[in-house]
Amino acid sequence: MSTTRETLPDHVGVVVVGAGLSGIGAGYRLQTEVADRDYLILESREAMGGTWDLFSYPGVRSDSDMFTLGYEFKPWREPKSIADGPTILRYIQETAAEFGIDERIRYGTKVVAADFVTAEARWHLTLRRDGEEVAMTCDFLYSCAGYYDYDETYTPALPGLEDFAGTVVHPQFWPADLDYAGQRVVVVGSGATAVTLVPSMVRDDETTGVRRAAHVTMLQRSPTWISAVPSRDATADRLRAVLPARLAHRLVRAKNITFGTAFYQFCRRYPDRARSLLTSMTTKILGDPQLVADHFTPSYDPWDQRLCAVPSADLFKAITAGDAEVVTDTIDTFVPEGVRLASGRVLPADVVVTATGLQLLAFGGIEPHVDGERVPLSEQFVWQGAMMTGVPNFAVCIGYTNASWTLRADLSHRLVTKVLRWMADTGAATVEPSPDRDLTERPLLDLAAGYVQRSIDAFPRQGDSGPWRVRQNYVLDSLTTMRANLRRDLRTTAYGDLPDGAADRAGGSARREVAV
């Protein structure tokens, strides 16, 4: 894996922020669909991979299948369709190396300020690198940094936590030397991280040599919808045995997209039937209807919050084996020996894991400015899920909340390259989405999950219809995104309308670089 640290150029056509799953995908689309447009990927950390390099807690994995979370252009060849974090990271690294994208990455380079100067049709970026601030410019800025805060976690007020005599850890910053062998562990939380940690901590890790905990308790305030899924895709195994890898990958990808979309629509249109289906499936595995009613039947409908997937029913198997349990209660206070609940029960613990959620952060912390004025993000609208009013030559990558992140991300990458080609064809120096009517605002992410509700007001909005809706439907998006009416929805400034000499400074090289 390259760890390129070359000197930064003064100017580049496109800057992609973030070298995670999305950033590498963006690099591929840029170099294949606008091949003459130069680009760089700026990564604040010292390695690519984003989430999959950052998180190292036991069992870290995706809850989406890799035929849809993986790239359309890079077949997934591993046996498991629900993959662990290290395997996903290796896949990202292999993709970057195979297509030469790793040579376009500059590590340890954080964008700390971004100001679009209209008269120059350029972004002026302030970067922090090796403890110093440096400057560079670009024509187009594309944020692929996701919406999680990598530096700060979310931990609610936990009464008496300072009295606990054991070890407290947060999954986002898992200590490499944490030894929980033979320990009693309480995991506070019930989301995707918690349901991953519990079964992983009650089995030996052959890769790291870490031995299993004596017992793990998942402590939740209220139940979460959890569904068992196969860790391997039997159809994929059959197709990959007889078909070329790329064709098999595309067929399985299409199958999984169709099933995922249909199941989501089923849950939203027929919530009572979806509840019945999920509870019956869980009861069949656990064999105890009361256990399911008490701890695995949420008050909200399926997909009001993201559905948690457990591969091969590993969480449920850990419970039936007696290695783990789920307790639904609220915390009264921490005590030296563990956690005292509102019911009066004390959960004994040597280790407490606060899997209480992540913190959202818009655009990796970049606050866009235009001509020195900060753009109020909460007053802007997102067009086609990728570009934003009030900010020229800027795009963001926001994945799906009800399906694999990469499905929406790749559509955004392709839309950005379409916009760049259109700018070159029309001689546009700047481009900015502009609605042709008043829009009724809605939250950008329409999920009731706590981590979304805590921070969503700091994000731009979606509208109520058409290209201003951020739909959670890949099938519809795949049919409409690339047919977007750029001339109708985008406001442009021609190079000839820039101040004298600015066209040569800001756009001349860009126009020569882009294939028209």
Q: What is the mean pLDDT of residues 59-82?
A: 95
pLDDT in tens, 455-470: 667 788 889 888 999 8
Does residue 321 contact residue 241 with C-beta atoms inside 8 Å? no
Does residue 347 contact residue 339 with C-beta atoms inside 8 Å? yes
Q: What is the mean pLDDT of residues 85-111?
A: 97
Q: What is the mean pLDDT of residues 268-278?
A: 97
Does residue 151 contact residue 112 with C-beta atoms inside 8 Å? no
Where are any strands of DSSP class E within 144-255? 148-153, 167-169, 184-188, 215-220, 226-229
Q: Which of 356, 372, 399 is the last residue in one of the domains? A: 356
Q: State how far Cα 351 lies from the chain centre.
A: 28
Asked if residue 323 and residue 392 are part of one domain, the reply reads no
Cα 158 from Cα 510, distance rounded (Å): 54
Cα 12 from Cα 184, distance rounded (Å): 53
Residue written as token pair 């690294």: 93
| C-alpha neighbours within 13 Å on the C-beta side of residue 506 | 27
Q: Which of 356, 379, 407 is the last residue in one of the domains? A: 356
Q: What is the mean pLDDT of residues 97-121?
A: 96
Q: What is the pLDDT of residue 450?
A: 60
Asked if residue 221 and residue 78 are part of one domain, the reply reads no
- In 3D space, the residue among 474, 416, 422 whose CA is nearest the CA of residue 32 turns out to be 416
Does residue 233 contact residue 65 with C-beta atoms inside 8 Å? yes
Q: What is the pLDDT of residue 502?
A: 60
Count of domains in the chain? Answer: 2
Asked if residue 391 and residue 347 are part of one domain, the reply reads no
Residues sharing a CB contact under 8 Å with residue 187, sequence separation 6 or more, in sequence order: 194, 197, 198, 201, 216, 217, 218, 219, 352, 353, 355
pLDDT in tens, 173-221: 999 899 999 999 999 999 999 999 999 999 987 777 678 999 999 999 9
Higher pLDDT, 505 or 34: 34
Asked if residue 422 and residue 463 are part of one domain, the reply reads yes
Asked if residue 419 and residue 338 are part of one domain, the reply reads no
Q: What is the pLDDT of residue 471?
A: 84
Asked if residue 328 and residue 234 are part of one domain, the reply reads yes
Does residue 379 contact residue 352 with C-beta atoms inside 8 Å? no
Q: Is residue 209 part of a domain?
A: yes
**For residue 510, what pLDDT band results from cuts at 50, 70 and 90?**
very low
Cα 190 from Cα 177, distance rounded (Å): 25
**In this structure, is the dihedral angle defined by the CA atoms of residues 65, 71, 76 and 78, taken in order, positive or negative?**
negative
Q: What is the pLDDT of residue 500?
A: 65
Question: Can you give the length of the chain in residues?
Answer: 516
CATH of the domain at 238: 3.50.50.60
Q: Is residue 339 part of a domain?
A: yes
Show the tokens assigned to 82. 């629900």
Asked if residue 413 and residue 276 are part of one domain, the reply reads no
Asked if residue 231 and residue 202 are part of one domain, the reply reads yes
Residues sharing a CB contact under 8 Å with residue 51, sequence separation 6 or more, in sequence order: 20, 21, 146, 148
Task: Share the mean pLDDT of the chain.
Answer: 91
Q: Is residue 486 part of a domain?
A: yes
Asked if residue 183 and residue 159 are part of one domain, the reply reads yes
- In 3D space, the residue among 131, 6, 128, 109 whose CA is nearest the CA of residue 48 turns out to be 109
- In 3D space, the residue among 508, 516, 499 whose CA is nearest the CA of residue 120 turns out to be 499
Q: What is the mean pLDDT of residues 76-99?
A: 96
Answer whether residue 505 shows pLDDT above 60: no
- In 3D space, the residue among 375, 382, 412, 419 whose CA is nearest the CA of residue 123 turns out to be 375
Q: Is residue 3 part of a domain?
A: no
pLDDT in tens, 435-454: 988 888 887 776 556 656 56
Asked if residue 207 and residue 118 are part of one domain, the reply reads no
Asked if residue 123 and residue 263 are part of one domain, the reply reads no
Q: Is residue 230 part of a domain?
A: yes
Q: Compute how many other C-beta atoms are within 10 angstroms of the C-beta atom of residue 179.
A: 11
Where are any strands of DSSP class E within 28-97? 39-42
Cα 19 from Cα 32, distance rounded (Å): 17
Q: Is residue 406 part of a domain?
A: yes
Q: Is residue 2 part of a domain?
A: no
Cα 32 from Cα 39, distance rounded (Å): 12
Q: What is the CA radius of gyration of the chain?
A: 24
Q: Which of 356, 387, 402 is the last residue in one of the domains? A: 356
Show the tokens assigned to 149. 């805060």
Asked if residue 395 and residue 428 are part of one domain, the reply reads yes
Query: By residue range, what is the domain housing residue 183?
Result: 155-356
Cα 360 from Cα 259, distance rounded (Å): 29
DSSP 43: -
Q: What is the pLDDT of residue 449?
A: 60
